[in-house]
C-alpha cells in the first residue's frame, strides 16, 4: 500500500510538492512502516497523542464555552485541516503532510486562547512564550513521556511556522499557514454573530461583497482565489483583491470582537488565575506532577512552568485554581 502511495505521489503531485520519499527524516531513525508513508505515520501519532485530545476543552475565542455550537481549539484545528487539505488538493500538494501539520499546529496552545498566551509570555520574562514554538516543544520533547513524537522535520517546521508572520519551508506548510487564517476569520465571525457581539450587517460591506455573505461562501472564494493565483507556481497566495478583502475582515475582528471590553474583562480574570498558578508552582515546584518536577533536572523553572500551564485545558486550569485557592466548605 505504501509503495502504491509513493507511485501516486510521483505521478500526480506538483513539482513544488514535498514527496514522502524525499523527507529529510526524523530526529531519531526508525524502522519504516510497511503500510504508511512517514507523513501518514506522523498524522496518526498526532491524532493519538494526549495534547490533541486536550484541545477539545481549550478556548478558541469564547472562554470555557459551554454551548454546543461554539468553536473550541479542537474544532478550529479540524477546520484548518479541512481548508488546508482543500488547498493542497487544488494545487496538487502532499495532502498527508498538509494534514499532519494542520492537526499538530496548535498542540502547544494555552488555556483561554491567545489571552493565556499573552499572559505566559509576560510571566516568563527570560524566554517569553509563543504557542507555535510551544507546539514544537510538545511534539519534539513533551509528548511520549518526554521522548517526543519523533515527527519528520517537514511536519515540525510547518507546525512551528504556521503563524502569519512565519515562513514555512514547504508548500504544504504554507497551505496550513494561510488555511489557519481563513479558518479563524470565518468561524470567529460565526461565533461572534451567534453570541450577539456583532450582527451580519456590521461586517464591512466591501469585504463581504468580494468574499460572500456566509462563511461557506467566503471560504470557497478564498480557496478558489488561491488556486487561481498559485496553480503551477511555487506560492500559496490569494489574488490581491481577495487578499485585501480578507485582511479587511481580519482587522474588523480585531477592532470589534477581540478588543471588546467583555473579552478584556475576561482576560483580566484569566490573568489573575494563571498568574496565581504560575506563582504558586514557582514557589512549590514539588507540587507539580512528577513529569514536570523531573524536567527541572535539565530545564529552567520558567520553561517547565510554561510547559505545565500551557498543557492545561480551560476546565483543568479552573479546577486547579479552585483546588488550591478557593476555601473548601466546612461540613459539620
Phi-psi region of 128 (alpha: psi -120 to 50; beta: other; left: phi over 0): left
Domain covering 36-324, topology: Hypothetical protein af1432 (1.10.3210)
Crossing angle of helices 240-253 and 171-195, rounded to 10°: 50
Cα separation of the two ends of the chain: 67
pLDDT tens track for 57-111: 998 877 655 666 678 999 999 999 999 999 999 999 999 999 999 999 999 999 9
CB 55 within 8 A of CB 74: yes
User: Concatenated DSSP letters for 215-278?
Assistant: HHHHHHHHHHHHHHHHTTSS-----HHHHHHHHHHHHHHIIIIIT-HHHHHHHHHHHHHHHHHH
The confidence score (pLDDT) of residue 71 equals 87
pLDDT of residue 260: 84
pLDDT of res. 263: 81
Q: What is the predicted pLDDT for the residue at 262?
A: 84
DSSP characters over 2-42: HHHHHHHHHHHS-TTS--GGG---BSS--PPPSSS-HHHHH
DSSP 330: P
Question: Nearest 10 degrees: CA dihedral of 76, 78, 83, 85?
Answer: 150
Give the chain's residues under pLDDT 70: 63-69, 330-332
177 dihedral zone (left: phi>0; alpha: psi -120 to 50; beta): alpha
Do 307 and 294 touch, CB atoms closer than 8 A? no
Render 129-169 in DSSP notation, one character per residue: --HHHHHHHIIIIITTTTT----BHHHHHHHHT-STT---S
Q: What is the DSSP string of 38-62?
A: HHHHHHHHHHHSHHHHHGGGSBSSS
Residue 151: how many CA atoms within 13 Å on its side-chain side?
35
Separation between Cα atoms, residue 32 and residue 38, nearest integer Å: 8
In the prediction, which pLDDT does 65 show?
58
Q: Say if residue 304 is exposed, middle or buried (CB neighbours under 10 Å; 0-12, 13-18, 19+).
A: buried
Q: In Å, what is the CA distance from 84 to each residue of 207, 223, 320?
A: 22, 9, 36
Would you say 29 and 151 are in contact if contact means Cβ atoms under 8 Å apart? Answer: no
pLDDT at 330: 66
DSSP state of 292: H
Amino acid at each position: 500500500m505504501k509503495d502504491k502511495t509513493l507511485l501516486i505521489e510521483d505521478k500526480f503531485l506538483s513539482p513544488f510538492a514535498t514527496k514522502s520519499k524525499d523527507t529529510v527524516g526524523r530526529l531519531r531513525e526508525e524502522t519504516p512502516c510497511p503500510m504508511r508513508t512517514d507523513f501518514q505515520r506522523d498524522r496518526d501519532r498526532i491524532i493519538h497523542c494526549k495534547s490533541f485530545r486536550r484541545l477539545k476543552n481549550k478556548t478558541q475565542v469564547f472562554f470555557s464555552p459551554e454551548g454546543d455550537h461554539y468553536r473550541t481549539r479542537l474544532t478550529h484545528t479540524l477546520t484548518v485541516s479541512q481548508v488546508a487539505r482543500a488547498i493542497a488538493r487544488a494545487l496538487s500538494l502532499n495532502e498527508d503532510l498538509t494534514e499532519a501539520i494542520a492537526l499538530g499546529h496548535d498542540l502547544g496552545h494555552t488555556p483561554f486562547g491567545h489571552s493565556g498566551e499573552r499572559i505566559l509570555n509576560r510571566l516568563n520574562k527570560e524566554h517569553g512564550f509563543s504557542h507555535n514554538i510551544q507546539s514544537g516543544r510538545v511534539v519534539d520533547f513533551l509528548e511520549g513521556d518526554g521522548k517526543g513524537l519523533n515527527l519528520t522535520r517537514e511536519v515540525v517546521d510547518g507546525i512551528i511556522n504556521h503563524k502569519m508572520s512565519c515562513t514555512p519551508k514547504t508548500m504544504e506548510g504554507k497551505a496550513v499557514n494561510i488555511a489557519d487564517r481563513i479558518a479563524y476569520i470565518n468561524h470567529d465571525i460565526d461565533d461572534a454573530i451567534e453570541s450577539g457581539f456583532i450582527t451580519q450587517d456590521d461586517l464591512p460591506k466591501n469585504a463581504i461583497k468580494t468574499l460572500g455573505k456566509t462563511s461557506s461562501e467566503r471560504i470557497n472564494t478564498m480557496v478558489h482565489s488561491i488556486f487561481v493565483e498559485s496553480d503551477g507556481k511555487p506560492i500559496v497566495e490569494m489574488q490581491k483583491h481577495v487578499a485585501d478583502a480578507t485582511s479587511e475582515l481580519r482587522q474588523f475582528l480585531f477592532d470589534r470582537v477581540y478588543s471588546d471590553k467583555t473579552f478584556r474583562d475576561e482576560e483580566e480574570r484569566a490573568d489573575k488565575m494563571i498568574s496565581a498558578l504560575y506563582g504558586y508552582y514557582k514557589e512549590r515546584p514539588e507540587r507539580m506532577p512528577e513529569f514536570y518536577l523531573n524536567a527541572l533536572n535539565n530545564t529552567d523553572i520558567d520553561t517547565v512552568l510554561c510547559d505545565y500551564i500551557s498543557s492545561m485545558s480551560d476546565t483543568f486550569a479552573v479546577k486547579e485554581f479552585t483546588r488550591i485557592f478557593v476555601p473548601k466548605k466546612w461540613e459539620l
